């Protein structure tokens, strides 16, 4: 009986270690990020249709959706929107709008606003934009 309990505990420990050591990302998500960043719309469509997570992340916390947006692959980004990606998602530890502000990525900000992301003056992203002081970034927030 003691051996059985020990065996169960070891299996549980192994499962937990696998999550922490291996990360919460999968090879599938890394591939999805790569496809999105390179505008491989057919690859993205196929992977999402086959069950890849639309809101998953790669090794470094990259969002496949934002990878497409950041690289101006808007057709590919649209596929994520069609599959229900959350516009309040996170890319490398920051929400999409905040990340675009920090990168001074005006094109990404405009795209995100166009597809319905919250680009408003009552947000942390706007405060960050004010601190940065880039007039083009601030213009995106001005309605």
CATH number, domain with residue 68:
1.25.40.20
Report yes or no on 16 lying in a domain.
no
How high is the pLDDT of residue 13?
A: 43
Q: Looking at the structure, do residues 134 and 111 belong to the same domain, yes or no? A: yes
* DSSP letter (8 states) at residue 24: S
Q: Looking at the structure, do residues 63 and 79 belong to the same domain, yes or no? A: yes
CB atoms near residue 114 (< 10 Å) = 10
Report yes or no on 136 lying in a domain.
yes
Q: Looking at the structure, do residues 83 and 104 belong to the same domain, yes or no? A: no
Report yes or no on 7 lying in a domain.
no
How high is the pLDDT of residue 136?
A: 96
If one counts the domains in the chain, the total is: 2
How high is the pLDDT of residue 26?
A: 59
Report yes or no on 62 lying in a domain.
yes
How high is the pLDDT of residue 25?
A: 44
How high is the pLDDT of residue 93?
A: 86
How high is the pLDDT of residue 27?
A: 78
Q: Looking at the structure, do residues 79 and 47 belong to the same domain, yes or no? A: yes
Those residues of the chain that have pLDDT short of 70 are: 1-26, 143
How high is the pLDDT of residue 129?
A: 95
Helix residue ranges per DSSP H, 52-105: 64-70, 74-82, 96-102
How high is the pLDDT of residue 91?
A: 85
Q: Looking at the structure, do residues 59 and 86 belong to the same domain, yes or no? A: yes
How high is the pLDDT of residue 7?
A: 47
Q: Which domain holds residue 27?
A: 23-92
């Amino acid at each position: 009986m003691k051996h059985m309990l020990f065996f169960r505990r070891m299996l549980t420990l192994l499962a937990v270690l696998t999550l922490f050591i291996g990360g919460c990302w999968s090879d599938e998500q890394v591939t999805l990020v790569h496809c999105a960043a390179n505008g491989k719309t057919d690859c993205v469509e196929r992977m999402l249709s086959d069950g890849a997570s639309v809101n998953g992340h790669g090794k470094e916390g990259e969002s496949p959706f934002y990878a497409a947006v950041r690289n101006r692959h808007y057709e590919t980004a649209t596929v994520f929107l069609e599959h229900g990606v959350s516009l309040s998602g996170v890319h490398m530890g920051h929400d999409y709008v905040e990340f675009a502000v920090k990168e001074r990525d005006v094109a990404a900000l405009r795209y995100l606003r166009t597809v319905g992301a919250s680009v408003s003056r009552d947000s942390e992203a706007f405060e960050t934009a004010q601190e940065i002081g880039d007039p083009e970034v601030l213009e995106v927030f001005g309605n």
